[in-house]
A and B are shown apart, each in its own frame.
Chain A
């Protein structure tokens, strides 16, 4: 059957090939209608073909076309002009200035399409939206700029995991990150970190090479990516050269970052007072429990115990009595962080060949001590027209990133956990003159915890990534309307993670005399796309655009790790010097996708639009019975403004309505945060040895019925333009119904398995998106505004009555959004005795809720406490330009979410959970009967009010000035003396200020060590975002 197919295809090509061609040469000059000046770089196309050229410096062109063809002249910022050749040999063109940029061509899956005729929902961003943003990765640069695309960094560490959600989270146990396609090739984007703090493989991409970013949001746009598209698709297209003079562009910027916010902790006096009070609180409880004969005995015990500890944490002296030492440890976690970035690119070409060559060096220091990120990257994009029918090209990028990392948020050694140290502890131990916690000294019990500053000089943890992403393509014009494109892409990622923990870190590693890990991960990911494109117009009114083809992707990951302990001294850091090799392993996993896809766009009279697409995906991740999934989509559009009856309406210049419906899938099954490629199998693992004897264990229960998770999405949209398109925008309503959730279902653990991966459950995301763009002023003073806002409602509708969740409060419950905070409702403090109280929230016999309070945590019912995901997200960008000056800034906002301070049980624990320093607000603790406060009585180790509850929840709304840039272009007549085309001085700022009610470091947070689809909105000693200001210069030759 397959052989027959290929034979017949061959036959078809041969027939097509026999169309006779007759050609002539046309020359001409393109000028601007406004002032008659020559326009270089105008695209001149033979209509309905890919045959084209661009005008030279003097605006002139030459092109070989058929005598009765139509020439299309296209230039950004000008209205497109079509002129029939009519056997002429000279065709000049005058282009009108046009504010109407709607008719630009945008990249879609496996092709391009005129934006005006698109019936799907996409968000488009161009290089100018992201250029020179002083951040590490591309998602950070587009934060707040695309409606319905929610982007959130886990914390302020560099190069770390970022959550991107297109129209909400549509999976529970499978990945919810979008598919990333760079120049047609799906790239490796999953976290490869060896620790629970995720890293971001997109940080290997120099986003200054990016020409455009399209986020495909609805089924019509995304379904051509079928099984990969439920979470949206981000299509990144890199820059290409343009024929004409060679251009050189150089940009350099330098700047510094500091933490965007600080958090206040108790000073020495407050700390001593609280801890002593906590001892007395515990004495009363101990006596009541019968552990002491008399209250006095209990009090004496605790006085001596607490004072002994205070002396210990005060470096063994009694300075704590006088407040002589008052260390603000919080400030010690941070540093003023410098950064530098250099970008150089060359582009140009001629009629046959164009090129874009770039290089970048980025050197960022983190605001967290010990954190840094460096990137060296290069790119070559080449395109060559071999002859009239064959184009070939390549895109190749290579990068080396070096990330000096700090431990995950849950580690004693992560710098922010330094806040747990006592303010009575000096930074330098006066007994040794060394950093507190250093040897010699009482380093195992002093200070209260491991001092993270010891890791700065005595430990290192570097992740080095070598990344090559490249593809080659050939495009064959089989006839005027039919072409075939073949692409082969390779994404190769080599990662080395190397860490060393010196002798002074023993309290953190639990290992004397040094500890080291070294691991390599290699991901080989290759992909081929082969497809036909057919474009034609019949009888002037019927336009047809068909794409059909196949793709195959294969990815294999190999990794190994070796761990050593016992080094002769800290001077030896390689594992060859370790006396004990404590661990070694190697791993391999792989997956493949085989897919067939097709799409047809039909346009009638340029106003009635119809698109249908379908994809069949086969995946190695499912058993042979359920291996293939079918993902169709269809959409319709009506450009009302093209109707005759509309031509008299002058205010509303453009109006299009559209609707789409379709199915997409998801197969990125996650187990413990890693992609599970073999989730349907019952598995044994041989990693269960015992005292050196090999053993095996059972790791996974089979589910041969496992199949694709699928999402059906409905979208209604309207695109509009007012006042000659000075104000444009679009509005969308969508509903995404996800069913057959790939879910780690809790099964009775008595079976030997805690969970089984099943297709169980349903959820939906429903929302609205509004995008507005306006040119407020045009002319010498220009002011434009972009606004986007999105509302998303996420609801889990069916998980068969289960309650899922593993951390303190995030749960999955039917009728609630994913990860909803569910637990005990804190009711403040009993004025009579200082007990923490909780609302019972039990149901009375009459159906009402019992709002009485209890001090017994277990007696209180668990109730819904809030949504961890913002329901509203938005952004507002303003661009101003006057003469040589330009100013641009973007506000980003989220609302409707709560944040849980997972560290509250330690840092805001009213001294009831040990000797951690407390947040400053804890000084308002209950002290004596009658006190009205919401901070319970301090009772050392009694955990009074420290269990997970709404006590540690706060509103997460914020508005942030995300990016700000101000630039000045030196006058042309000045710089032309130096043969420069462009010289711009600029200042960029990132996270300049924020308005929020959140009391923690930063409301843009999700504790890295536990972040998942379900574990959301948790702050756990998470680093705040940096506030960065850079100054730079951009010159072009």
Chain B
């Protein structure tokens, strides 16, 4: 055997030794774009980042990116809007015939509980937050959790005033973080009362713990404002008026001079909250989404233009009402410019609603908590460049509410429910006006009961 061959074989031996040593640790690879959960919530900063993440998750298009407000309006706003889009799931909602596999109904549910789990993770690790920030972080998390549960129970459960809320089913209440899928994951639906109680508990706690000022995040007035909306939905007019008064009297917010200025559109760019905005989900080119723009705005303004405003609705504005300036003709189609800025924030609640809530509550109670209904309604009328009214009825307030808040927060649907108004030929209590529990959830969890009519 030649020497050369021995060298080859020796080299082979060396090579083999090297490769066989290349062993098990070669299989220990870690992700680079994500981190393991065991490393994610260790410090105060980590928990605060998860809270920011919760704003992000609640701002997706299926939730406060706009569809959580758009979809109820599609279901109940046929007198004001004409749907002309090709998303079959939304056509089903507009035609009040929602199959249980409707993707929009399903995605809203999935996205909401994803955000809730993140909020529960924040609250579950709240003791890791620095003491000086702990109340604020807890307050924001509870505010957001109360807000989303309130919208969930209004969409997937019967109205508070429809039958017995103590036995009617709401949505499952999940209040602890999920670390494993086990038997406890197979939850049942809580009653409407139980969900409202949780909403009130979270928002009340948030109101106490949140500071009065908190940049574009939720502050204590945001909690009061949403509480006012919850109480109104329940017909608890006293508390609704009280909470509205708390916000109004703070003088932290004011109605902008011109109605159209509440919907600024200096170009497709992010705009900070207006003086009137109490709480809004922030939209920038990088983060957040504006699904109201997607469906209401013309394609000139980055939307699909799937929704037109019916002229019969615009005819309800009084002569000279400046609020008609947010409607325009787009080649024969009437559209609203409220959402023309594709990077405009999604307003969750603004001051005008609280005047309207307080006026209605005081009228119904015969009280003047905070101010008289006439003064409150004239704040709205005057800003709209209308002459002040001399008398006011509940019907007047409801009409102003419809005209003022149209398309913004799902009020066609939610107001019809609490005032028990028929929608077309359907009574407010029709099972067709309640979202089905998504079919995928029924399949995945045998403990979930489907709604009546599905």
Q: Residues of A at under 8 Å CB distance from B?
A: 2-3, 5-6, 9-10, 13-14, 17-18, 21, 288-291, 308-309, 312, 387, 389-390, 442-446, 450, 476, 478, 484, 486, 506-507, 510-512, 528, 530, 550, 552, 554, 565, 580, 582-583, 587-592, 594, 618-620, 627, 677-678, 681-686, 688-702, 746-754, 756, 802-803, 856-858, 905-906, 913-914, 916, 941-943, 946-947
A530 engages B441 (CB within 8 Å): no
Question: A431 to nearest B CB, angstroms?
Answer: 12
Closest chain B residue, CB of each to CB of A529: B19
Q: Ordered nearest first, which 10 A-B pairs have the shortest CB separation?
A: A752-B117, A695-B52, A688-B53, A682-B37, A695-B53, A684-B40, A10-B13, A691-B282, A588-B32, A688-B56
User: Can you name 4 extra interface pairs (CB under 8 A) apart from A685-B34, A802-B443?
Assistant: A18-B1, A288-B425, A444-B300, A588-B33
Shortest C-beta distance, A708 to chain B (Å), equals 13
Cβ–Cβ < 8 Å partners of B38 in chain A = 682
B440 in contact (CB, < 8 A): yes
- A697-B56 contact, Cβ under 8 Å, with A684-B40, A752-B113: yes
Q: Which residues of B contact A916 (CB under 8 A)?
A: 86
A185 to chain B, nearest CB (A): 16
Give chain B residues whose Cβ lies under 8 Å from the Cβ of A694: 49, 52
Q: CA separation between A619 and B27, bound complex, in Å?
A: 6
Report how far A64 CA is from B285 CA in the complex, Å: 75
Contact status A751-B178, CB under 8 Å: yes
Given contacts A446-B331, A695-B50, A858-B100, contact A702 B287 (CB under 8 A): no
B13 to A: closest C-beta gap in Å:
4
Interface positions of B from 69 to 126, Cβ below 8 Å from A: 78-79, 82-86, 88, 91-92, 94-95, 97-100, 109-110, 113-114, 116-118, 120-121
- Docked Cα-Cα span, A511 to B40, in Å, equals 36
B23 to chain A, nearest CB (A): 7
Scan residues 1-60 of chain B and give those whose CB is less than 8 A from a CB of chain A: 1-2, 4-6, 8-10, 12-13, 15-17, 19-24, 26-40, 46, 49-57, 59
User: Can you give 12 contacting A-B residue pairs, CB < 8 Å?
Assistant: A10-B10, A289-B425, A550-B19, A587-B32, A594-B22, A683-B31, A689-B286, A701-B180, A747-B185, A749-B440, A914-B86, A941-B84
CB distance from B89 to the nearest CB of A (A): 10
Within the complex, what minimum Cβ distance (angstroms) separates B171 from chain A? 8
From 392 to 434 in chain B, residues with beta carbon under 8 angstroms from any chain A beta carbon are 424-425
Contact A695 B110 (CB under 8 A): no
Q: Are B425's CB and A594's CB within 8 A? A: no
Known contacts: A554-B26, A750-B185. The answer to whether A691 contacts B216 by CB under 8 A is: yes
| B50:A696 contact, CB within 8 angstroms | yes
Alpha-carbon separation in the docked complex, A334 to B28 (Å): 51
Closest to A285 in B: B95
Residues of chain A within 8 A (CB-CB) of B268 are: 511-512
Inside 8 A of A942's CB, which chain B residues have their CB?
A: 95
Considering residues A6, A387, A552, A580, which has the most beta carbons from chain B within 10 angstroms of its beta carbon? Answer: A6
**B181 interfacial by beta-carbon distance below 8 Å:** yes
* Residue on A nearest B447 in the bound complex, by CB: A748
Contacts of B445 in A (CB 8 A): 748, 750
Q: In the complex, what residues of B have CB within 8 A of residue A678's CB?
A: 30-31, 34
B33: which A residues are within 8 A, CB to CB?
587-589, 685
Of the residues B36, B85, B86, B444, contact of A748 by C-beta under 8 Å? B444
The answer to whether A752 touches B114 (Cβ under 8 A) is: yes
Chain A positions within 8 Å of B179 at CB level: 682, 702
Q: A312-B332, A690-B282, A947-B99 are in contact. Are A478 and B9 (CB under 8 A)?
A: yes
Q: Does B284 contact A (CB under 8 A)?
A: yes
- How far apart are the CA atoms of A942 and B78 in the complex, in Å? 13
| Cβ–Cβ contact A510 & B299, under 8 A | yes
**A13–B12 contact, CB under 8 A?**
yes
Pair B20/A2 contact, Cβ less than 8 Å:
yes
- Are B99 and A946 in contact, CB atoms less than 8 angstroms apart? no
A445 touches B13 (CB 8 A): no
Q: How far is the CA of A420 from the CA of B454 in the complex (A)?
A: 33
Number of residues from B at the complex interface, CB < 8 A:
110
Q: Is the CB of B302 within 8 A of A445?
A: no
A746 to B181, CA, bound (A): 11
* Option from A580, A583, A751 in Cβ contact (under 8 Å) with B174: A751
CB neighbours (8 Å) of A580 from chain B are: 285
User: Which B residues touch A589, using CB under 8 A?
Assistant: 31-33
Shortest C-beta distance, A171 to chain B (Å), equals 21
- Which residues from 110 to 147 on chain B have a C-beta closer than 8 Å to any C-beta of chain A? 110, 113-114, 116-118, 120-121
Q: Specify which of A3, A507, A756 is in contact with B181 (CB 8 Å cutoff).
A: A756
Nearest-CB residue, chain A, relative to B94 = A941
The residue on B at minimum CB distance from A915 is: B84
Chain A contacts for B180, CB-based, 8 A? 701-702
Q: Which residues of B contact A510 (CB under 8 A)?
A: 299, 302-303, 342
Task: Write out the residue numbers on chain A whose beta carbons fall within 8 Å of the beta carbon of B39.
Answer: 684
Contact A683 B187 (CB under 8 A): no
A749–B185 CA distance with the chains assembled, in angstroms: 9
Docked complex Cα distance between A748 and B112 (Å) = 13
B49 touches A696 (CB 8 A): yes
Provide the residues of chain B in CB contact with A309, threshold 8 Å.
332
Cβ-defined contact, A746 with B88, below 8 A: no
Contact with B13, one of A13, A677, A746 (Cβ below 8 angstroms): A13
Do B86 and A591 have beta carbons less than 8 Å apart?
Answer: no
Residues from chain B with a CB closer than 8 A to the CB of A754 are: 110, 114, 440
For residue B148, give the distance in angstroms from its CB to the closest CB of chain A.
Answer: 12
Contacts of B424 in A (CB 8 A): 289-291
Which chain A residues lie closer than 8 Å to B288 at the CB level?
690-691
The answer to the question of B387 belonging to the interface, with a C-beta cut-off of 8 Å to chain A, is: no
Cα of A450 to Cα of B303 in the assembled complex, Å = 12
Inter-chain CA distance A807–B170, complex, in Å, is: 28
Given A9-B16, A696-B53, CB of A506 within 8 Å of CB of B37: no
* B379: A residues at CB distance < 8 A: none
CA distance A282 to B401 in the complex (A): 30
CA distance A588 to B30 in the complex (A): 10
Q: Please, which residues of chain B bring their CB within 8 A of the CB of A21?
A: 1
Cross-chain contact A683 with B36 (CB below 8 angstroms): yes
Is B34 a contact of A748 with CB atoms below 8 Å?
Answer: no
Instruction: Determine if B113 and A751 form an interchain contact, defined as CB atoms under 8 angstroms apart.
Output: yes
Complex contacts, B258 vs chain A, CB 8 Å: none
Contacts of B29 in A (CB 8 A): 590-592, 620, 677
Asked if B162 CB lies within 8 Å of chain A CBs, one says: no
**B50 contacts A6, C-beta separation under 8 Å:** no
Among B6, B118, B303, contact of A698 (Cβ-Cβ < 8 Å): B118
Docked Cα-Cα span, A690 to B53, in Å, equals: 7
Task: Output the nearest chain A residue to B171 by Cβ-Cβ distance.
Answer: A750
Chain A residues with CB under 8 Å of B65's CB are none
**Which partner residue on chain B sits nearest A288 by CB separation?**
B425
Q: Given the complex, which residues of A lie within 8 Å of B36, measured CB to CB?
A: 681-684
Inter-subunit contact A751/B185 (CB<8 Å): yes
Cβ-closest chain A residue relative to B270: A691
Given contacts A13-B13, A747-B185, contact A594 B86 (CB under 8 A): no
Query: Which A residues touch B441, using CB under 8 A?
Result: 748-750
For A445, give its contact among B23, B110, B332 (CB under 8 Å): B332
Q: Which of B37, B57, B83, B177 sits near A684, CB closer than 8 Å?
A: B37
Residues A620 and B37 in contact, CB atoms below 8 Å apart: no
Interface centre among B15, B28, B56, B216 (most CB of A within 10 A): B56
- Which residues of the other chain, A, contact B85 by a CB distance below 8 angstroms? 914
Which residues of chain A come closer than 8 Å to B344, judged between CB atoms? none
Any A CB within 8 A of the CB of B298: yes
The reply to whether B331 and A913 contact each other, CB–CB distance below 8 Å, is no
Q: In the docked arrangement, what's the CA distance between A580 and B54, Å?
A: 26
Shortest Cβ distance from residue A658 to the other chain B in the assembled complex, whole angstroms: 34
Q: Which residue of A lies closest to B49 (CB)?
A: A696
Interface residue from A2, A677, A690 paired with B56 (Cβ < 8 Å): A690
Smallest CB gap from B30: residue in A: A678
Q: Which residues of B contact A17 (CB under 8 A)?
A: 1, 5-6, 9
A446 CA to B331 CA, complexed, in Å:
9
In the assembly, what is the distance between CA of A751 and CA of B113, in Å? 7
Q: Nearest residue in B to A591 (C-beta to C-beta)? A: B29
